[in-house]
Amino acid sequence: MSTGQQDYKIFDMHTHAFPDKVAAKAIALTSARADAPYYHEGSFQSLLEFERAAGVAGFLLLPIATNSAMTVAVNDWVAEQIGEEVYAFGSVHPEFEDYEGELDRIKAMGLKGVKMHPEYQEFFADDEKVLPIYEAIFARNLILYFHAGEDPGYPPPVKADAKRIARVCDLFPQGRIVAAHMGGYRQYEAVSQWLAGRENLWFDTSFAAERMEPAEVRGLIRQHGVKRTLFGTDAPWADFDSAKEALIRSGLNREELTAIFYDNAADLLDIK
């Protein structure tokens, strides 16, 4: 157990894995591109072992369809991984033509929302071409989950910066939107200016909180709203204890940490 930890019920809101036949190649390529170490081997089984070793109550698997042709297969695969402790989102590539039909399938398969990664999928978060997809996501009461801010493997311009995500929030006040990496990796001043406090937006802490000063973590979470902040690791790209301890060291109180580590995810995902 990590130094100074109290016991918390934990839901990891941000994890990744790949089908067995591509896991080793996918994790090696991504690790090299981003110059990032990895903490499980890329397969779903290795993710499951990673999360169980950490003692989580559950976790969310977030896939990314990096091209249009793989959209259906990605969603079929991720739906197969759902289990008692495993929840999942689907993914829709912006160039996938029958997004309405695929969103119906995503909903029917029990997936909770749609993960979109503007860097990997090569679009700007507020591009006019993707707004109908967002509208269709929200019409089905699904959650829209963005990679937000910089990505270590990609050069500027940032495709999902705080101002672009703010525009999406303004256009879809009825939607439920998650901006990963504390609202925008390495863009925390802009996040504070443009995103903090929005009632239709949640932040997750993945790959960000452990790279920020404790006071900065505490301040941004309280500015945005403790009830709209979700714990996540970004596994395999994070050490679980480091991600957890970053919140404990931040100075948030036990009630706030209890909400962030589990209760907020349970409410958002409707976990009974």
Residue 272's pLDDT is 83
Round to whole Å and give the CA distance between 214 and 257: 14
Domain range list for the chain: 11-269
User: Quick one: what percent of the chain has pLDDT higher than 90?
Assistant: 95
* Confidence label for 6 from pLDDT (cuts 50, 70 and 90): low
Strand-by-strand arrangement of the 86-88 sheet: 11-15, 58-61, 86-88
Q: Structure pTM?
A: 0.96
- Whether the Cβ atoms of residue 23 and residue 43 lie closer than 8 Å to each other: yes
Round to whole Å and give the CA distance between 25 and 147: 22
* Contacts for 121 with CB less than 8 Å, ≥ 6 apart: 64, 65, 66, 93, 94
- Whether the Cβ atoms of residue 123 and residue 100 lie closer than 8 Å to each other: no
Helices (H) and strands (E) in the chain, counts: 12, 9
For the cut 60, the answer to whether the pLDDT of residue 2 exceeds it is: no
pLDDT digits (tens, 9 = 90+) for 189-226: 999 999 999 999 999 999 999 999 999 999 999 999 99
pLDDT digits (tens, 9 = 90+) for 22-61: 999 999 999 998 888 999 999 999 999 999 999 999 999 9
3-state secondary structure 5-44: CCCCCCEEEEECCECHHHHHHHHHHHHHHHCCCCCCCCEH
Both structure tokens of 102: 């695929």
pLDDT digits (tens, 9 = 90+) for 129-182: 999 999 999 999 999 999 999 999 899 999 999 999 999 999 999 999 999 999
Superfamily holding 11-269: Metal-dependent hydrolases (3.20.20.140)
Using alpha carbons, select from 65, 82, 62 the residue that is nearest to residue 207: 62
Q: Please tell me the least confidently modeled range out of 5-9, 48-52, 140-144, 238-242.
A: 5-9
Look at residue 229 and give its three-state secondary structure.
Answer: strand
